[in-house]
Structure 1
Amino acid sequence: EFSHAQYRELQRYAQEIGIFFTASGMDEMAVEFLHELNVPFFKVGSGDTNNFPYLEKTAKKGRPMVISSGMQSMDTMKQVYQIVKPLNPNFCFLQCTSAYPLSPEDVNLCIITEYQKLFPDIPIGYSGHETGIAISVAAVALGAKVLERHITLDKTWKGSDHSASLEPGELAELVRSVRLVERAMGSPTKQLLPCEMACNEKLGKSVVAKVKIPEGTVLTLDMLTVKVGEPKGYPPEDIFSLVGKKVLVTVEEDDTILEESVENHGKKIKS
């Protein structure tokens, strides 16, 4: 174990290089010491998550809390939420399976989405002990807002935790991959994007005349088809709305049906 002086030295170095410093306080005395260090948040390890007196005292300190959920049931996590929430609303849960190294079959990333449903007012994250970075990146894609991984300088060192940890190069790759996924998450609004315009101009189709349609003809579905046409006209999804409308000019076979060629153009026919 580190001495208090060593923890202070680690904190000083973390501040020097611009990263947060904290630790998992394994008992109430450790939490008091971390509180004295003015850490930015408390980490509650999975082994203390169902220690409700410990949770209460930690929550009352008023610092943000990151709470792992390894070895716990959903009923226990609901109790944890009910205990911590009134005392300190600034906390999050991490989906975690306490095995080192963790096999993919036991990761249960789906619990992230279940936590999001049950606890929509707190951030949900992931604490991983698997090998590699792919599963952790997938957790971010599922909406994990906090990601915890252990790091080591040598996976062959004694102790099961080292084999489940990331070496510095893997950690750097994890950060790059997470930032890439964050960019790729984008917007939930589905729409034609500016980057798609060139492809749409080349491959986007329009409603065209399947046969020659004389001026004054009332359109039926068998007169129309969908093809790549120039200039662009009605998009394919409007083909049914054209049925029953009258053309104002003669439209030759394979010509695009233009809005100005149809009565009440741009107006949907009410069924």
Structure 2
Amino acid sequence: MVKNTSRIFIIAEVGVNHNGDIEIAKQLVDLAYEAGVDAVKFQTFSAEKVVSQQSLQLDMLKKLELSRQDHIELNDYCREKGVIFLSTPFDLESIDFLKSLGLEIFKIPSGEITNLPYLRKVGSLNKKIIISTGMAELEEISKALDILVASGTAKEKITVLHCNTEYPTPFKDVNLLAMLTIKNTLRVKVGYSDHTLGIEVPIAAVALGAEVVEKHFTLDRTMEGPDHQASLEPSELKAMVESIRKIKNALGDGIKRVSPSELHNREVVRKSIVASREIKKGEILSQENITAKRPGVGISPIEWDRVIGRVAKRCFKADEAIEV
């Protein structure tokens, strides 16, 4: 039997699509909650600690920062709405800050998968961990897992997300089956962080066994910012969540059985052995005088060989169900 009892954990990735505005961030939380997601995720960083002073990204990232007070406010706001607040830390101080907020799940971004001090610090917290693997080879993922476990986090608490970091990701580069390679080779729970356009790939990931799905969303794809273009708009996010919930329900438990909804169809579409013409009492039943027709209320044609050669105990009209 295939276990299929856990709910798919869906993360609505705001990231920096709030453009540094706490009110837009709250509006996105509202819309994510209405869409039915389990968590809303932001990004926690100090631009000057993430990139060098010479980086062309510095000015852009400064505009996208949320203050510590913004984080506290958003954490409280998510709690009030009944949705989990998550945020990805991009530096060591941000890890400590998110710990102080009481986060029970830590999300490691693709870019930190080779950052030993970072991995050790997150691993030492012994919290649930979700780690993205964009740009990573299988060996690098395995090494990161070893570091997290050695630092104090049980492997059972870690979920590895297959990911491609190109925004948007071309379909030919998704390589969704790699998620199964990660699962089967590393013996770990898996999920999928999506950067493709549309909702098809996340839904396919669930069908393949993803336990966690992460997807960027925005108020409007035409807004200025680095991630808006590859993000879902609110109506699309809701459609994705609804589709994932339906697909999860449709996967079932893997046991082949007759479902209650189709049981009544048996008599309608299956067949019974009937007389193909009038049969007299004492006549030998043969392929010349019997056939199989609907409905399936009499002897099943799977019993054909058992019926052939028997003596008719009474007369049968054409199309009458045979009794032996």
Distance 2:226 2:106 in 1: 24
2:212 corresponds to 1:139: no
Does the CA contact (< 8 Å) of 2:130 and 2:158 recur in 1? yes
Does the CA contact (< 8 Å) of 2:75 and 2:85 recur in 1? yes
Does the CA contact (< 8 Å) of 1:126 and 1:148 recur in 2? yes
2:133 corresponds to 1:84: no
Does the CA contact (< 8 Å) of 1:251 and 1:257 recur in 2? no
CA 1:72/1:225 → structure 2, altered by over 3 Å: closer, same or farther?
Answer: farther
2:167 corresponds to 1:103: no
2:69 corresponds to 1:5: yes
2:126 corresponds to 1:62: yes
How far did 1:109 drift? 1.5
How far did 1:210 drift? 6.2
Distance 2:311 2:254 in 1: 38
Distance 1:6 1:163 in 2: 25
Matched ranges for 1:12-27 at <5 A: 12-27=76-91
Bigger drift between 245-254 and 191-200 goes to: 245-254
Distance 1:216 1:113 in 2: 62
Aligned-residue CA RMSD in angstroms? 2.8
Q: Which runs of no fewer than 5 residues in structure 2 stay unpaired?
A: 1-64
CA 1:239/1:187 → structure 2, altered by over 3 Å: closer, same or farther?
Answer: farther
Larger relative contact order (Cα-Cα within 8 Å, sequence gap ≥ 6) = 2
CA 1:239/1:157 → structure 2, altered by over 3 Å: closer, same or farther?
Answer: same
2:182 maps to 115
1:231 maps to 297
2:21 maps to none
Q: Secondary structure at the match of 2:85?
A: coil
CA 1:221/1:39 → structure 2, altered by over 3 Å: closer, same or farther?
Answer: farther
Q: Deviations over 1:214-248 (max 9, x none)?
A: 7696x8888865322463222x44546x3788568
2:95 corresponds to 1:28: no
Kindly provide the amino acid, as one letter, of the partner of residue 108 in structure 2: V
Q: Secondary structure at the match of 1:98?
A: coil
Does the CA contact (< 8 Å) of 1:205 and 1:228 recur in 2? yes
CA 1:244/1:41 → structure 2, altered by over 3 Å: closer, same or farther?
Answer: same
How many percent of aligned residue pairs carry the same amino acid? Answer: 33
TM-score in terms of structure 2 length: 0.69
CA 1:12/1:245 → structure 2, altered by over 3 Å: closer, same or farther?
Answer: farther
Distance 2:183 2:302 in 1: 36
Matched ranges for 1:88-237 at <5 A: 88-89=153-154, 90-120=157-187, 122-208=188-274, 225-229=291-295, 231-234=297-300, 236-237=301-302
Does the CA contact (< 8 Å) of 1:213 and 1:223 recur in 2? no
Does the CA contact (< 8 Å) of 2:269 and 2:296 recur in 1? no
How far did 1:171 drift? 1.4
Q: Secondary structure at the match of 2:261?
A: helix
Distance 1:251 1:71 in 2: 77
CA 1:177/1:231 → structure 2, altered by over 3 Å: closer, same or farther?
Answer: closer
Q: Secondary structure at the match of 2:84?
A: coil
1:265 maps to none
Kindly provide the amino acid, as one letter, of the partner of residue 193 in structure 1: S
Q: Deviations over 1:106-145 (max 9, x none)?
A: 111112222332244x321110011111221121122211
TM-score in terms of structure 1 length: 0.81
CA 1:148/1:213 → structure 2, altered by over 3 Å: closer, same or farther?
Answer: farther
Distance 2:312 2:145 in 1: 67
Does the CA contact (< 8 Å) of 2:269 and 2:295 recur in 1? no
Distance 1:187 1:195 in 2: 16
Task: Number of aligned residue pairs: give it.
Answer: 255
Kindly provide the amino acid, as one letter, of the partner of residue 131 in structure 1: L
CA 1:85/1:250 → structure 2, altered by over 3 Å: closer, same or farther?
Answer: farther
Q: Secondary structure at the match of 1:24?
A: strand
2:105 maps to 41
Q: Secondary structure at the match of 2:231?
A: coil
